[in-house]
């Protein structure tokens, strides 16, 4: 165990989903936790943390990255000091042990007081969590990222359900985009979520137009506190 | 600051929940706003400057200065 003080972990197992373990990270402001988390980061991560302008962003980064370090070190049977992280072209991180890429994938997302970490053997995990923060412009934002069918679904929602619909669609789409690791270099309006999921199904399969041989599993993890989704490939060439 | 930078600064102060003033040369990744906030802000920039850019086009801008330069090159 890497945390040796009496401070209890600020993360815990939240749920299992098709071979991926998903942990919930408590991002509440708490100075003792922050100090412990920062102490677990390596030099590159501490520099990254210092570059973040907002105290909130520094706290979220440190708490999530430290929790990720502990979880990965346990899964990989290594010491925290052996772990480092590399980044793919569009910023998706991967783990290294003693400089070699580790055979494990993970993805991290946070929103408000909630962080989620997915860890598993799947090749490319994508995870997103969104607190359902009230906004005045759901349809306007949706016009930039949602497909025609998704925009119609959002437009049909009444005032009470609009934020539920918006954040569910957003988290599902972002999980897919994070899984494939391209960020918004793919036009998000061209990614239409599975029809069954637009009708409310909790899971479905998706194929990107430019990768017709690959099937991606998409799971709606949303609950009372937040919208969330997980995506990963089920077949790779 | 240019007129464009002033207008962008006003948009940021009025719409983003930041605890610091906007800096032209700070990377957007170091501002660490959420993806929803980023797209919402990009929509406001689109409207303020009549840019008509798609969401996937916003990734070409790493800093506020790059966005200012792009807008100014388009004639503000």
Q: Taking Cα atoms as reference points, which of A115, A209, A220, A118 lies closest to residue A169?
A: A220
User: How, if at all, do strands A203-206 and A93-97 pair?
Assistant: unpaired
DSSP state of A9: P
Q: What is the largest CA-CA distance in chain A?
A: 53
The whole-angstrom separation of Cα A128 and Cα A106 is: 12
> Residue B69 corresponds to which tokens in the numbers above?
């330069």
Model pLDDT, residue A130: 98
Counting the structural domains of chain A, the total is: 2
Q: Which residues in chain A are closer than 8 Å to B19, comparing Cβ atoms?
A: 53-56
Is residue A157 assigned to a domain? yes
Counting the structural domains of chain B, the total is: 1
Do A65 and A137 lie in a common domain? no
SS3 B28: helix
Model pLDDT, residue A235: 67
Do A52 and A15 lie in a common domain? yes
| CATH code where residue B59 lies | 1.10.1200.10
Model pLDDT, residue A4: 53
Model pLDDT, residue A184: 67
Task: Single out the residue in A63, A88, A121 at which a domain terminates.
Answer: A121
The whole-angstrom separation of Cα A48 and Cα B31 is: 12
| Nearest residue of chain B to residue A174 (CA atoms) | B35
Do A164 and A226 lie in a common domain? yes
Per-residue pLDDT tens, chain B, 76 aa: give them.
579 999 998 998 888 877 777 788 888 888 878 999 999 999 999 999 999 999 888 888 989 999 999 999 987 5
- pLDDT (average), residues A135-139: 93
> Residue A154 corresponds to which tokens in the numbers above?
């959002």
Q: Which residues in chain A are closer than 8 Å to B26, comparing Cβ atoms?
A: 53
Residue owning tokens 């509440």:
A28
pLDDT at A2 exceeding the cut of 60: no
pLDDT tens digits, A142-201:
999 999 999 999 999 999 999 999 999 999 999 999 999 877 678 899 999 999 999 999
Do A206 and A231 lie in a common domain? yes
Is residue A172 assigned to a domain? yes
Q: What are the Cα distances from residue A216, in Å, to A207, A231, B1, B42?
A: 6, 7, 47, 29
Does residue A56 belong to the interface with chain B, where contact is any CB pair within 8 Å? yes
Tell me which residue in A91, A141, A184 faces B43 most closely, judged by beta carbons: A141
The whole-angstrom separation of Cα A230 and Cα A173 is: 10
CB–CB of B56 and A61 under 8 A? no
Tell me which residue in B40, B43, B56 faces A188 most closely, judged by beta carbons: B56
Is residue A169 assigned to a domain? yes
Do A112 and A133 lie in a common domain? no
CB–CB of A188 and B55 under 8 A? yes
Do A23 and A115 lie in a common domain? yes
Domain hosting residue B44, numbered range: 3-73
**What is the predicted ipTM?**
0.87
User: How many residues are given for chain A?
Assistant: 237
């Amino acid at each position: 165990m890497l945390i040796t003080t009496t401070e209890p972990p600020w993360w815990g197992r939240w749920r299992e989903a098709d071979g991926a373990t998903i942990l919930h990270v408590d991002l509440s402001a708490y100075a003792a936790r922050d100090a412990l988390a920062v102490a677990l980061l390596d030099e590159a991560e501490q520099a990254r943390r210092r570059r973040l302008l907002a105290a909130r962003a520094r706290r979220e980064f440190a708490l999530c990255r430290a929790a990720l370090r502990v979880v990965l070190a346990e899964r990989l049977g290594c010491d925290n000091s052996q772990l480092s992280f590399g980044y793919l072209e569009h910023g998706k991180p991967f783990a290294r042990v003693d400089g070699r890429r580790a055979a494990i994938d993970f993805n991290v997302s946070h929103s408000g007081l909630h962080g989620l970490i997915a860890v598993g053997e799947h090749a490319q995990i994508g995870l997103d969590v969104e607190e359902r923060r009230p906004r005045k412009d759901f349809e306007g934002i949706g016009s930039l990222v949602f497909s025609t069918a998704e925009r119609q679904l959002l437009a049909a929602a009444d005032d009470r359900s609009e934020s539920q619909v918006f954040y569910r669609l957003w988290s599902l789409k972002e999980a897919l985009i994070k899984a494939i690791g391209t960020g918004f270099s793919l036009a998000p309006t061209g990614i239409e979520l599975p029809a069954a999921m637009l009708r409310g199904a909790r899971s479905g399969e998706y194929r990107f137009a430019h990768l017709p041989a690959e099937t991606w599993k998409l799971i709606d993890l949303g609950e009372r506190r937040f919208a969330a989704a997980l995506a990963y490939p089920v077949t790779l060439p | 600051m240019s007129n464009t930078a002033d207008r962008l600064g006003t948009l940021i102060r009025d719409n983003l929940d930041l605890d610091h003033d906007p800096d032209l040369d700070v990377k957007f990744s170091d501002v660490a706003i959420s993806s929803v906030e980023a797209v919402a802000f990009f929509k406001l920039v689109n409207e303020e400057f009549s840019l008509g850019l798609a969401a996937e086009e916003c990734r070409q801008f790493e800093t506020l200065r790059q966005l200012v330069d792009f807008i100014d090159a388009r004639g503000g």
